[in-house]
């Protein structure tokens, strides 16, 4: 307890104690006229800096809420207030704490070692009116730290990096049927060419990242899949994850040439940033910012009832790419 | 056979006579004559097409110009002709909505002639007045808005333009959905039923003149133009602030 009190007193002295001036350039004639200390202005500056820090902390607090009405407006307000308080503090410093003088001519430009020293003397003497430098520096540090943190915190939304295991789990494994949004199984005969379908894993949550598929049917001869994926497209039906590998939007565009000799080839396109994938060549990226192909789901045709089912899990991790995601294979639910 | 030869002769001679616009909008009395003059060079005799597997012909080495029209029916012919998508100057261009060089009678004759190439779907008769705008909105969002934007202002796919639907008539919309012109996918009745199609058309008709709830519509194409306007206003305000800050302080 006594140790705590001693620490508190030490901190109080450190921050609140007026600095014992050790005049550095006392042996020389002053360049800047002396100014009166202004303790009230210093307290005002400190208060403004702490308000800035509080506003920046408020930004982080508002950001950490998931569902908050008018969140964007509150975020803007908090950050705006933080900068406004910093600006107000700087204005007070400039107007009331730094020694000002009016000169007919500019100071000569520093170039020589002696003028360099004169400049240092100028700066030091201009700060003469400060009496609680360390306290004000601590306040400025608090404001800068809080605002810096407020600017960095949104980067956390770029993607989870602590607990990513759930992202590697998909509901697909051998035998899981493809169903439409109403839960009806997809039959091969109902899948037509020149259009595209959205399919989900039977019994899985449709909102789960690994569930939705984009399904397209081609003439088997149109497909140019790698050798190890020859069996993945029964009767020319291919299935890829519907989640773009760039930023995780849904692949909502299908480009289908009416007359291929004079028109661009078939493509799956993400409407967010126009990542373009060639569905006939294992969703190879042919345009746009995506860094890797859409994961392909091997399909299996039940010859007895014509239903389509998965023959395994995806060829790669589902969803947007970020550090470390490219190399791992998805997992089945345990 | 003599008719065929005559048709080929017409196809080769008449365009030359038309001068600057070879093969576009050449007049003739019958559907067959119109076809021979305006369509045959790309779609071949009796709609057989000039595909990449077709043997190269003559000095021009014409290959891969146009798809066969057997079995496309009146639906496709009506869509491509009433929208002015066809006739197309250069088969490598994207067809665009233009004024057709043909009048109504000529289009009807051509459509009837193309329909004789093979059994195909007829011109649809959508009834948008039976559809529901709100249902159409959700269906349009699901199936169409990815390319055409939510207010049917059109947009882009890689290498092509998804056209705005301002000029599209209900019949043309119904035809396009079933047909999938150019790069658009085809939506069979298993994906969009005729009743759903009526709702979609009702919504597209509504989206041409939406009920703006105040503010500037700025083309109704979302946050990008709105953001630009906001930047413009903010930039002017900031320049004003800079002027105030930079003004010499008067004692």
Domain boundary assignment for chain A:
2-158, 167-310
Report how far apart, in Å, the C-alpha atoms of A38 and of each of A95, A129, B126 are: 11, 7, 82
Complex ipTM, two decimals?
A: 0.75
Task: Give the whole-angstrom CA distance, residue B120 versus residue B78.
Answer: 12
| Average pLDDT over every residue of B11-25 | 47
Position B20 pLDDT exceeds 70? no
> Three-state SS for A75?
helix
Taking contacts as CB-CB distances below 8 angstroms, the residues of chain A near B66 are: 259
Task: Give the whole-angstrom CA distance, residue B157 versus residue B184.
Answer: 10
Same domain (yes/no): B83, B174: no
The CB density around residue A312, as the number of other CB atoms within 10 Å, is 16
**CA end-to-end span of chain B:** 102
Position B79 pLDDT exceeds 90? yes
How many residue pairs from chains A and B have C-beta atoms closer than 8 A? Answer: 69
Place of tokens 């005559």: B6
Same domain (yes/no): B152, B173: yes
Can you read off the two tokens belonging to residue B168? 């599209």
Can you read off the two tokens belonging to residue B51? 């595909």
Taking contacts as CB-CB distances below 8 angstroms, the residues of chain B near A256 are: 180, 183-186
Same domain (yes/no): B160, B185: yes
> Three-state SS for B28?
coil
Task: Give the whole-angstrom CA distance, residue B66 versus residue B41.
Answer: 9
**pTM assigned to the model:** 0.69
Q: Taking a contact as any Cβ pair under 8 Å apart, which residues of chain A between 285 and 314 contact chain B?
A: 286-288
Same domain (yes/no): B204, B225: no
Closest chain A C-alpha to B133 CA, distance in angstroms:
22
Between A313 and B16, the more confident residue is A313
The CB density around residue B108, as the number of other CB atoms within 10 Å, is 15
Tell which of B91, B115, B139 closes a domain.
B115
Task: Give the whole-angstrom CA distance, residue A34 versus residue A30.
Answer: 8
Per the CB < 8 A criterion, the answer to whether B123 and B78 are in contact is yes
Per the CB < 8 A criterion, the answer to whether B198 and B127 are in contact is yes
Q: Name the pairing type of β-strands A308-310 and A237-241.
A: unpaired
pLDDT score, position B36: 87
Task: Report the Cα A47 to chain-centroid distance in Å.
Answer: 32
The superfamily CATH assigns to domain A167-310 is Rieske [2Fe-2S] iron-sulphur domain (2.102.10.10)
Position B138 pLDDT exceeds 60? yes
Q: What's the number of domains chain B is made of?
A: 3
Domain that holds residue B74: 2-115
Q: Assign residue B69 a region (left: φ > 0; alpha: ψ between -120 and 50; beta: otherwise).
A: alpha
Same domain (yes/no): B99, B181: no
| B interface test, pick of A246, A250, A255 with most B CB neighbours within 10 Å | A255
Phi, psi of A287 (to 5 degrees): -165, 155
Interchain pair A264, B190: CB under 8 A = no
pLDDT score, position B14: 46
Between B53 and A119, the more confident residue is A119
Q: What is the pLDDT of residues A69-96, one digit of tens each?
A: 899 999 999 999 999 999 999 999 988 8
Per the CB < 8 A criterion, the answer to whether A15 and A133 are in contact is no
Query: Would you say residue B122 lies in a domain?
Result: no
| Average pLDDT over every residue of B194-208 | 93
Q: What is the pLDDT of residues B98-130, one digit of tens each?
A: 898 898 899 999 999 999 988 889 999 999 999
Closest chain A C-alpha to B193 CA, distance in angstroms:
14
Q: For the ranges A156-160, B189-193, B237-241, which has the lowest average pLDDT?
A: A156-160
pLDDT score, position A4: 81
Per the CB < 8 A criterion, the answer to whether B149 and B156 are in contact is no
Task: Give the whole-angstrom CA distance, residue A296 versus residue A240.
Answer: 4
Task: Give the whole-angstrom CA distance, residue A80 versus residue A153.
Answer: 16
Task: Give the whole-angstrom CA distance, residue B62 versus residue B47.
Answer: 15
Same domain (yes/no): B108, B149: no
In the DSSP assignment, the letter for residue B184 is P
Q: For the ranges A226-240, B200-214, B233-247, which has the lowest average pLDDT?
A: B200-214
Burial class of B157 by CB neighbour count within 10 A (0 to 12, 13 to 18, 19+): buried
| A interface test, pick of B93, B179, B185 with most A CB neighbours within 10 Å | B185
pLDDT score, position B62: 56
Position B240 pLDDT exceeds 70? yes
> Three-state SS for B53?
coil
Q: Name the pairing type of β-strands A276-278 and A284-287.
A: antiparallel
Per the CB < 8 A criterion, the answer to whether B11 and B37 are in contact is yes
Angle of the B194-208 helix axis to the B133-143 helix axis, nearest 10? 100
Same domain (yes/no): B161, B58: no
The minimal CB distance from B185 to the residues A190, A194, A261 is found for: A194
pLDDT score, position B200: 95
Chain A residue nearest residue B245, CA to CA: A91
Query: Would you say residue B97 lies in a domain?
Result: yes
The CB density around residue A23, as the number of other CB atoms within 10 Å, is 10
What is the DSSP annotation of B107-160?
A: HHHHHHHHHTTS---------GGGS-HHHHHHHHHHHTHHHH-TTS--EEETTE
Query: Would you say residue B24 lies in a domain?
Result: yes
pLDDT score, position B52: 66
Closest chain A C-alpha to B59 CA, distance in angstroms:
20
pLDDT score, position A212: 94
Task: Give the whole-angstrom CA distance, residue B4 versus residue A253.
Answer: 43
Same domain (yes/no): B7, B33: yes
Chain A residue nearest residue B141, CA to CA: A252
Q: Assign residue B25 a region (left: φ > 0; alpha: ψ between -120 and 50; beta: otherwise).
A: left
Position B15 pLDDT exceeds 50? no
Chain B residue nearest residue A193, CA to CA: B186
Residue among A139, A130, A138 at smallest CA distance from A19: A130
Task: Report the Cα A116 to chain-centroid distance in Å.
Answer: 44
Task: Give the whole-angstrom CA distance, residue A126 versus residue A22.
Answer: 15
Query: Would you say residue B29 lies in a domain?
Result: yes
Average pLDDT, chain B: 83
| Average pLDDT over every residue of B68-97 | 89
Query: Would you say residue B95 lies in a domain?
Result: yes
Task: Give the whole-angstrom CA distance, residue A86 versus residue A145.
Answer: 12
CA atoms lying within 13 Å on the CB side of residue B68: 11
pLDDT score, position B212: 75
Q: Which helix (H) or strand (E) holds A254?
A: strand A253-255
User: For chain A, which ranges sit under pLDDT 70?
Assistant: 1, 14-26, 107-111, 159-167, 323-334
> Three-state SS for A294?
coil
The CB density around residue B51, as the number of other CB atoms within 10 Å, is 16
């Amino acid at each position: 307890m006594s140790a705590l009190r001693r620490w508190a007193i030490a901190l109080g002295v450190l921050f609140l104690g007026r600095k014992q001036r050790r005049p550095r350039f006392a042996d020389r004639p002053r360049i800047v006229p002396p100014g009166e200390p202004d303790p009230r202005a210093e307290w005002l500056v400190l208060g403004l800096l702490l308000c800035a820090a509080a506003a920046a902390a408020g930004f982080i607090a508002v950001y950490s809420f998931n569902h908050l009405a008018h969140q964007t407006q509150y975020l803007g307000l908090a950050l705006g207030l933080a900068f406004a308080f910093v600006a107000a503090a700087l204005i007070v410093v400039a107007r009331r704490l730094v020694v000002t003088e009016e000169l007919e001519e500019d100071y000569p430009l520093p170039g020589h070692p002696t003028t360099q020293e004169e400049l240092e003397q100028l700066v030091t003497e201009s700060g003469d009116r400060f009496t609680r430098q360390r306290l004000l520096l601590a306040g400025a540090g608090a404001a800068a730290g809080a605002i810096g943190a407020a600017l960095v915190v949104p980067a956390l939304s770029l993607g989870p990096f602590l607990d990513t295991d759930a992202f590697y789990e998909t509901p697909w494994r051998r035998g899981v049927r493809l169903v439409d949004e109403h839960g009806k199984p997809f039959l091969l005969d109902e899948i037509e060419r020149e259009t595209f379908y959205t399919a989900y894993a039977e019994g899985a949550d449709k909102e789960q990242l690994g569930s939705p598929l984009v399904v397209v049917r081609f003439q088997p001869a149109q497909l140019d899949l790698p050798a190890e994926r020859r069996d993945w497209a029964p009767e020319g039906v291919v299935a890829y994850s519907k989640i773009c590998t760039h930023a995780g939007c849904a692949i909502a565009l299908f480009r289908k040439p009416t007359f291929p000799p004079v028109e661009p080839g078939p493509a799956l396109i993400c409407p967010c940033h126009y990542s373009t994938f060639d569905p006939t060549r294992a969703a190879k990226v042919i345009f746009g910012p995506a860094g890797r192909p859409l994961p392909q789901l091997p399909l299996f045709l039940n010859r007895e009832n014509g239903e389509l089912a998965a023959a395994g899990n995806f060829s790669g991790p589902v969803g947007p790419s970020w550090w470390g995601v490219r190399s791992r294979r998805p997992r089945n639910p345990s | 056979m003599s008719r065929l030869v005559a048709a080929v002769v017409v196809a080769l001679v008449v365009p030359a006579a038309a001068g600057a616009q070879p093969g576009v909008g050449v007049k003739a009395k019958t559907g067959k004559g119109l076809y021979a003059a305006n369509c045959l060079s790309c779609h071949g005799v009796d709609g057989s097409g000039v595909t990449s597997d077709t043997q190269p012909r003559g000095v021009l080495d014409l290959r891969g110009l146009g798809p066969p029209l057997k079995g496309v029916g009146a639906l496709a012919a009506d869509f491509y002709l009433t929208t002015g998508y066809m006739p197309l100057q250069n088969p490598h261009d994207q067809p665009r909505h233009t004024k057709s060089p043909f009048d109504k009678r000529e289009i009807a004759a051509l459509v009837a002639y193309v329909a004789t190439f093979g059994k195909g779907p007829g011109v649809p008769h959508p009834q948008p007045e039976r559809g529901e705008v709100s249902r159409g909105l959700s269906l349009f969002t699901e199936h169409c808005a990815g390319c055409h934007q939510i207010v049917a202002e059109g947009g882009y796919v890689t290498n092509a333009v998804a056209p705005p639907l301002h000029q599209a008539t209900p019949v043309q919309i119904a035809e396009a959905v079933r047909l999938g012109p150019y790069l658009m996918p085809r939506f069979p009745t298993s994906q969009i039923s005729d009743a759903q199609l009526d709702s979609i058309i009702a919504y597209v008709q509504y989206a041409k003149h939406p009920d703006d709830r105040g503010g500037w519509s700025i083309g109704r194409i979302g946050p990008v133009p709105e953001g630009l306007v906001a930047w413009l206003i903010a930039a002017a305000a900031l320049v004003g602030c800079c002027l105030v800050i930079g003004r010499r302080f008067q004692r």
